């Protein structure tokens, strides 16, 4: 980088520093950027980096990423497009740029995760997903104080337990009581925020595991009592009853009513398709610094909260649900039993390999 370029980069950042508050904000964002580019994505000199936003993105953090990536000698490019409601409408030029990069940092509000462009990007590159977040969501302990080392260790242990499990039982004191069977040919995903190899997609904030059970084997009751997408933070539980993988009943108060309305609405706009009533995936949080915010990017990381979801699960989890919709809900402090062996009890790891992480 020559002197002129360096000054230009500096000016880009300094333009934002009009007030003391903004200065403090940029200092915090600077830490997030360091975590993302160095610790998580491990951006290297000569790599092609794409920082991708849309009309809903915060340009300040995108500029910081641009600056940090160029600082290590990467060929960094920032690109922004107009928000689109459907991934089919992502401009072709954007998809092409995604496919041609080594590292992609998405900051979009457009829900690009399940697009073909993401799948194609992973053929030659890696992705650290930071989309669907507001800037203040990135400045929380779930990112700034995360124990990345512990998350990686827990992740690999959980992965082998779930990958080898046949029958899972999940319970909570709030009333969750369900069983399901696993298919060892389906992948178990662990998100520890590290995306340093071709084909890897991880998230910041990170700290969760997830897998798709055999959909029709899911039977029982799930009491979602903390966070539910698309509703948000819950102040009363929403109770889902499943029979052979299908939602049989949604009960509760006003949040349950809203959820039922959403399920019906999605059916209507997708020409009567009902696959979002069919099971998708399960998961659990392994980030001790996560707490309930109403944003699933953090709430799915809550320590030993259990995740259930409905709808699409083919691309990531190799399941058989081809829905056009997807939703997720979290049940706090779960008890998880795999083939009769207790892994988690009331929100605490009790498995011999995992109990040490409670200290």
Chain residues that interact with Fe ion, rule: CB under 5 A:
309, 328
CB of 281 to Fe ion, least distance (A): 6
CB of 239 to Fe ion, least distance (A): 19
The closest of 231, 315, 256 to 281, measured between CA atoms, is: 315
* Residue number with CB closer to Fe ion (309 or 321): 309
Q: Distance from CA of residue 46 to its chain's centroid?
A: 28
The closest of 66, 78, 52, 63 to 26, measured between CA atoms, is: 63
CB of 209 to Fe ion, least distance (A): 12
Phi/psi class of residue 40: alpha, beta or left (left: φ > 0; alpha: ψ in -120 to 50)? alpha
The closest of 184, 128, 136, 191 to 160, measured between CA atoms, is: 184
Which residue is associated with the tokens 């030993």? 304
* Residue number with CB closer to Fe ion (79 or 315): 315
3-state secondary structure of 336: strand
* Residue number with CB closer to Fe ion (37 or 132): 132
CB of 262 to Fe ion, least distance (A): 15
Question: Which residues lie closer than 8 Å to 198 by C-beta, 6 or more apart?
Answer: 122, 124, 125, 126
* Residue number with CB closer to Fe ion (311 or 347): 311
Interatomic CA distance for residues 357 and 359, integer angstroms: 5
* Residue number with CB closer to Fe ion (125 or 283): 283
* Residue number with CB closer to Fe ion (63 or 300): 300
CB of 309 to Fe ion, least distance (A): 4
Are the C-beta atoms of 247 and 277 separated by less than 8 Å? yes
The closest of 105, 164, 111 to 138, measured between CA atoms, is: 105
CB of 151 to Fe ion, least distance (A): 18
């Amino acid at each position: 980088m020559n002197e002129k370029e360096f000054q230009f980069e500096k000016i880009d950042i300094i333009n934002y520093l009009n007030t003391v508050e903004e200065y403090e904000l940029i200092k915090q964002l600077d830490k997030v950027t360091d975590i993302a580019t160095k610790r998580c994505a491990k951006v290297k000199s000569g790599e092609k980096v794409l920082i991708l936003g849309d009309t809903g993105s915060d340009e300040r953090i995108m500029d910081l990423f641009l600056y940090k990536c160029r600082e290590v000698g990467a060929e960094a490019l920032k690109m922004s497009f107009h928000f689109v409601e459907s991934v089919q409408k992502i401009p072709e030029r954007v998809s092409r740029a995604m496919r041609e990069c080594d590292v992609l940092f998405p900051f979009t509000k457009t829900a690009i995760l399940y697009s073909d462009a993401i799948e194609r990007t992973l053929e030659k590159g890696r992705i650290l997903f930071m989309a669907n977040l507001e800037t203040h969501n990135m400045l929380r302990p779930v990112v700034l104080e995360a124990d990345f080392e512990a998350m990686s260790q827990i992740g690999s242990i959980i992965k082998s337990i779930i990958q080898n499990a046949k029958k899972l039982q999940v319970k909570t004191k709030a009333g969750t009581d369900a069983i399901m069977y696993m298919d060892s040919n389906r992948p178990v995903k662990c998100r520890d925020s590290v995306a340093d190899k071709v084909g890897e997609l991880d998230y910041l904030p990170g700290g969760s595991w997830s897998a798709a059970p055999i959909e029709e084997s899911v039977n029982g009751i799930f009491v979602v009592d903390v966070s539910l997408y698309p509703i948000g933070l819950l102040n009363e539980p929403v109770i889902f009853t499943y029979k052979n993988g299908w939602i049989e009943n949604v009960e509760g108060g006003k949040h349950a009513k809203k959820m039922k309305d959403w399920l019906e609405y999605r059916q209507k706009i997708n020409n009567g398709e009902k696959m979002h009533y069919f099971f998708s995936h399960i998961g659990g949080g392994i980030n001790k610094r996560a707490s309930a915010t109403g944003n699933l990017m953090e709430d799915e990381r809550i320590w030993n909260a259990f995740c259930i979801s409905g709808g699409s699960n083919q691309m990531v989890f190799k399941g058989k649900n081809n829905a056009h919709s997807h939703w997720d809900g979290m049940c706090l402090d779960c008890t998880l039993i795999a083939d009769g062996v207790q892994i988690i009890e009331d929100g605490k790891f009790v498995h011999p390999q995992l109990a040490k992480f409670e200290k």
